[in-house]
Structures are given as C-alpha cells and as structure tokens.
Structure 1
C-alpha cells in the first residue's frame, strides 16, 4: 500500500461524491516484498488465490511466498497476519497533454486539471513479510572446474523413468535438511553460564550413590529438567508397594514423583481469612501421610500468589474438589469456566495427579486415598478407543496424526514471541452463540451420552460422567465390596470385564449415531 499525500488544496479539485465510495467491500492487503511487474507471476509465488483463501481462513497460519515456485526445494518467506484499519483509494489525476502542432512547446503541459479519489474498500487484515528468507538449500554441486552445476533434474524425476538410475554409481549426493530454523525472526536469547568441568563433576559425585560414576545416566536424552509446575504425581506401582500388600524391594519401593526435587518437606498452607478472604500463608508441616500427599509444595502456593489466583479462582476450584474428590482436567475446564492457564497453577495447589492405574490422568484432593474407599470406583478412568471402520475417520478426528503435521515456521506461535493482549469485546447474539457452542465442545471432552460423538478416536472418561442408561444400570447393580476386597491396578474396585462391557455399549451408541448421520446426508 502507498500513502496518499494531499497538498495545495486550491490546485486539486477533489470529487468526494458518496456514490463513488464503497465501504462495504472488505479487502485483504499483502505487502509484497518486491516490485510487481506481472500480477499472474506474483500470485504464482503466493501459491495462487486458492492457497491465499486457505491461509486467510486459518488465523494462525502464515502466508508463504516462494521466489522459485517451480523448485520444490525453495524455502518460502513467511508473511505474518496483522490487524489494521485502512482504506484502499483509487485516485484519477487528469493532466494537460503536450501539443506540438505548431512546433511550439506548451508551457502548461503536465499541469493537473482535476483529481478524483474514490474508496474501493476497507482493509482490516494485512500480511507483512518481515522475517528472513535467506535459508536456502540449492540442488547444485561443483564440477571439476569449480563451477556450480544444477542437478535439479537428476534429483527430481520428471515423467516415467527406467530403473537404470538406481544402479548408476555416478550419482550426486544431495541430502537437504528435513527442516530449517524454527524461527525466522530475530530473538533475544540469554545463554546460561555453564559450569566448569571440575565444578560439574564435583557437584555430581557429591549427589551420586557411587563415586565411580563419572557421568549421569541421562547424559544422552532429556536436555532440560522437568517443568511440571511443582505438581505432586503418584505412580500406581509405588502406591501399591507402599500399602504393604506387595514386596517392598529397592526396585518398587515407595516413591513420589515431584516436579522439582522428588520430595518436599516445607509447604504452604492455604487458609481462609474471615476479614480479607482466602490468603496464602507460610507454614512448615509434614507434606505426606504415608504415601498420600496432604498439602501442596511451597513453590506451588507461591505461584498462586504470583499469578493472583489466591482469591475467587482458588475458592471455586476448592469447592468442586470438596463436592467430588477426584476430577479430570477436562471436566474442571468445562465446569469451573477457568482457563487452561489458570488450572495449570491451581491444580498443583489443591490436588495431586495419578500417572497410571485405575484413576489414570485424574486429579485427587489432597489427603484423599481412593484405594481405601470403594465408592471411588465411580471416579475411575475408562480408556475408550474407537475401532477404525470405513467412513469413521471423516467424522471423528485423531488427536495426533503424522498426516496433519506441518513445519513449525508455518504457524505464528513458533515464529514470533508471544505478546499478551487484553481485548474488550461487546457480547452480541452471534458471539453468545459461539460461546454456547464452545461450552458444548468442552462438555464433549469429558461427558458421553447417547446421540453424541467423541471428539477424538481415544477418550478418557470417568464412569460417573458416562450418562448412558445401560452403564448407569450396570453401576447400580454392582454388589457391595467385601471387607477383604483388594483394589487392583487394572480394574480398581470394579469386577473384571466391566470396562469391556462399557466399551461395547459406547461403541454401539457411536455406530448408531454414525449410521443416522449417513442416512441423513
């Protein structure tokens, strides 16, 4: 876009008739990083109008520009999407023509006679190419004279070729990298000061059980510490070993997996103050009663104060845990109306997490041990997976798929730093409908009832959230647990084969719904 400067208003005769303006037409602006001489070739470098429309429909997608569109090895320059408020103007300037009938030069030639401006449309979205585009890997090799020679036709087959190229020993080696830099925007990065080798070995050997070990076990593997926001997690194997019902050996002894150092001795106690509401006060107490944690880690509570979550959000999440001791994160997301970022800090401060076992992937209230309460069978997790049947893939998507993955540079979040933005919106009927649809989507992530389709091929449901009459009838018919009953890792407090019956019931309802959708379409 070019800015229009208006000066010497007496000279120009501006025609501002409202009939010439079109403010209802919405346009997209692309600030092309080059001089456009051929519009068709410009659209070809952008992938065509179809590709531009596809990118525009995805708000986080970046617009790719390939200066060599016919070269499959051409790495694109990416344009970021920005919001703007601009107008596209069409300006028509009339000038006096130069007449040379008598051979005399007209002194008034080129003088502006009139200037008409009209608004073509309004622009609310603009794509700007501000990143680097110099990451290129060309299919070329050096010949005997040191000159570069293109081998594009050799590495990219054109048409149907015979198999002789497979046995040809004189083949140029061309192995392009699978991906380039994740970011094409300059980033400020502060490198951590590394310890000297002597300091590192001394520090490691002081913590090691054996002085003969010089290098840590995970020297090849994870390159950073766990970042679990100081969540207290329980493994079923360690819980079972600590209960005294399994041999206590060094291999399966009690172990609580914490996010920071593996155990906690100091904690913060979150209490309520009648005058000023909930507050976070520091105290030193025992964090565990046996294997079950009863209080959060000190750092988890400190993060609540930093994130200003000690007030109403904390009371809200605490209320739900008092009503029901075990929850899934998806259920709390839908019911509490809290954001995922808020729950990321609230849950470690009020509950602990089950890594596996009958309550896999759920959050339990501090001090509550479901292995001692047979009524906790309602909160057990059902791992439901849909069988792949023809036509199902088009209706129900997989959570993760290698077919749907794309390079990180194609999306905004991995290409430029995140900037928090506070938006003020006015609730209108259309936005209200979108909010209600979003609430229905959140509900489908943890509840199943007849007539619904799971949002993905694999779902984790709690039995109390399965609102299916057949399953609820099976739960009501369950006999009372005997005093010597044992909670097992696979079935928990439920009888063997109960989960398979529930899976078959859910599958029947899903297939019935798919058949109805097939007939209606």
Structure 2
C-alpha cells in the first residue's frame, strides 16, 4: 500500500504492465463499454493485430454501424487505486466500557448500576459533536505502458430514424450474406439485400484535411486562353531563370505586365508587388542585399521563391561591371552613365593565413549582416565577394563614384570608370576591411595597403591633368609596380567570371 503525503505517492513500483483505453463517451456500465469495443475477443484481436487499431462501435447490435478507431500510443503512467477511510474521533470521557474490580456476590447489583450508567453516558455522547478524520492511501496497481486514444472523428452512420426495430429485423448479418457472394456473386442476392449493402467506411480519413478541388472540365474559352497564357509565361520565366545574359548582347529583356498574369489579392501578387517596388526605388540590386532588405520589411521568402519573383521583373549579366547583379527589365545600364554608382567591385583575400581564418569562421556557421559588411563594421568571412559601390559607406568612395564620368562608353571590364579609379577604390576597401580584421597579421597588411592606397591616389590625380602620351607611360609604370607588389605579398589570382559565385544562381528546384 502506498502512502500519500503532501500530494505525492510513495511506494513500490510494480513490474506488471497494462494498457488503457481512453473511452470517448460516458458508458452506462463496464460491460456495455467492453461490448462496444468488440468484447474480450475483439480487444484481444486488436492487441495481436499489426494495425494497432482498436474499433469502437457505439451500436454493436447494428451490423452496419461504422466504427471509430483508437490509435495505440506509448505511455509512461501508473495506475493508482486510491482509498479513503473515515476514522471516528471519540472523546475518552465518553467511553462505554470500563474496567472495575467487583466481587462475584455483588455482580448483579453492580451490573445493573453499570448498565444504567452506560445508557446515561451514551446519551451524553450523542449530544456532543463527533469528529471524523479522513485517511487517504494509494496502491500502485500496475505500469501503464500503452494507451488507445480516439482522437479522430466518427465515420458517417447509416441510421433509420423511423421504425428502427423493424429495419433492424430486416437487416441481415454479414455472415449470412457473404456465402452468396462466394457462390454466384450479386446475381443470387435478393434485391432487398442489395439495398442495405453499405461500404465498410464512408470516409477514408478520420482527421480533417484540406482538399483542393480540380477545376471544372468545361471551362470557357477565355479561361482556357488565360490558363494557356499563364503556362507559356511561366515557361518563359523558367527559361530566363536558368539563363544569364552576356554583357555584349544587343538588347536587354523587356518588362512584362505581371499584374495581368498573377491573381490580384493573392500572396504571390502581394510578394511580387513588394519586389517590383524595390526596383522602382533602385534599378540595380546586389543579390545579397535583396533578401536582407525584404526581411527588414517583414517579408520572409525562401531562396527558390525569391528567384521566381525576381525573374519576372529583373535580369542579370553573366559578366561585365554589373556581373551577377539583378537589373530591372527594360533598363540598360550600358547606355546610362549614371549607372556607374551601381557597378560591382571585387574584394579578395589573398593572404594564406587570412584565407584560413575566413574559411574556419565560415565553416562554423557564422554569418554577418550585409549592411554591416557594407558599412565596414565587420570583416567578411568570404575570401571572394562582389560589392556594390553605392552601398559602401565610405566618404572617399561615395565622392569618387559621383563625379562625372570621362568614359564615353561602358567598358566590359571597368564599366564607366578608368582602371586607375577602380584600383584606388579597391585599395580603399582593403584598407577599411583590414582596419577591422581581428587577425594578428592584419596590422602589417593594413600598413602595406595604406601605402599603396596613397600612391594610387597620387597617380589618379596626376593622370587627370597629364597629356595622353604621359598617361600611357604612367599606366605602364603603375601596372609594373602593381605586379611587383602583388608578388611580394600574395599570389596573383586571375579573375574568372565563370567561377565567381557560380553556385549562387543555380536553380534549387
């Protein structure tokens, strides 16, 4: 017997195990509950079957009653038998029996006096308040290892509300009807029996599910045409999604009227509207900047879904100064000198120790916000990355990119800038990143980049006022000096557009 104290039970845990049925109704008796579960034989059959389903028939006398199914689940409970006893607390002064030493001669006399005293004492005790004390005890009967739960809904029932007794008498047991199917099929079954043949289950599911109904086959010609246009448009978008554009292409993709294709008011339409407004705000976006901007605006979409939204309103070049940047459809940055602020510029880590540091940090799962990288608040963990000039928060960079361009055409390598300006910008970026790099070797690299940056600025200022033949001489000297300095500090990496983030624009579908 267990002891209950302060709301807890202490006792010996039993070794025998039982299972529990969470009966989903109020029963009139235990015998009726067992009968609705198929009796003892039905319960034993359910315990030995592989389906682990216990059938509950609320009308077991009706052979066409459809069951509710109980699912067997593991449990880790104990079955307690709690007992409550009441103990009367009687005052000792009201005791009836007393012990006395009397002689046998005066026994009758003393006995008569004793009986009289007991009656008087009992009457007094009845007049006093009797106190009861309740004692709780618990017996841990067994360990409940499994339990049947009826969480689903009961199947549809075929019930005759009128003349139910007569209909019940007309219904025949399946054991009487089944042999006729084995001998001659439905031809030997009476018409009355065919009328009462019901499926074993009306519904194959007992839990609510969302069902998407197919469209009616007889669609109007306009709806069919709209559906065909939608499929063709999606096919074209899918092709553009997997196909980048060469920088030397003659014409860029034209804008499409996506508002006529996507259902207005849907989630897809709302998401597409947000992406479209971003390109109305700015014609060219870096691929890392777009997801972060959408998340800050409260729109969280997957990478694959974002690509579908982007190809409807934007395109990208495989090479050139706007490489891998999303560009608004219909806008050609090669014809607009103002697009120079949207050009990309590479930052690469060549030092072997710094590369090892970046790879270790990247493998650990650490990731910086794109805004912090563009503001030079953190050192990037990628050894090679493309930055957008307009997003870099540096006074010198913003001042240089907003100066009028001296280039008449957009070059496929340097864009709207000269090679000297781009060298200055790259060195400025290297100086800013090395100033926040936590690696011990960053200090020496910072000094080297700072000296080269100051020298590059002097060359840029001289080239602006020099004659053409002097500019050519300065260009050759600058190239030779740059090669010598790179050979001293790190190995030279040739720029390969085909390997630059080649896996970041692959389709995930």
**TM-score, normalising length: structure 1:** 0.30
More helix by share: 2
TM-score (norm 2): 0.31
Higher strand share: 1
